[in-house]
Amino acid sequence: MTLLSTLGRHVGFSFDTGAIAKAVAVLRQRRALARLDDAALKDLGLTAGDVNAEIRRPVWDVPSNWRG
């Protein structure tokens, strides 16, 4: 049982903790991507512009195969 689901039961709301966990994971991944240096980005075939575009996307804007 998570804190959110426990709180939700007490106040009468239902939280989709799976969706929240996925959103947190996306935010962490995008933050990690933003911390990569130019050499690491080059190894991945990415540019600083690619990274900027990715980190500016809304948290819900992910590939459809990530949703489930």
52, part of any domain: yes
**Cα angle at 64 between 62 and 66, to 5 degrees?**
70
**What is residue 66's predicted lDDT score, i.e. its pLDDT?**
72
The DSSP letter of residue 56 is: T
26, part of any domain: yes
40, part of any domain: yes
23, part of any domain: yes
51, part of any domain: yes
**What is residue 26's predicted lDDT score, i.e. its pLDDT?**
92
**What is residue 29's predicted lDDT score, i.e. its pLDDT?**
94
10, part of any domain: no
54, part of any domain: yes
Range of the domain at 45: 19-58
Specify the higher pLDDT residue, 66 or 10.
66
63, part of any domain: no
Whether residue 3 is predicted with pLDDT greater than 80 in this model: the reply is no
Confidence bin at 4 (pLDDT 50/70/90): low
Total of domains in the chain: 1
Tens of pLDDT along 16-66?
777 788 888 999 999 999 999 999 999 999 999 999 999 999 988 887 777
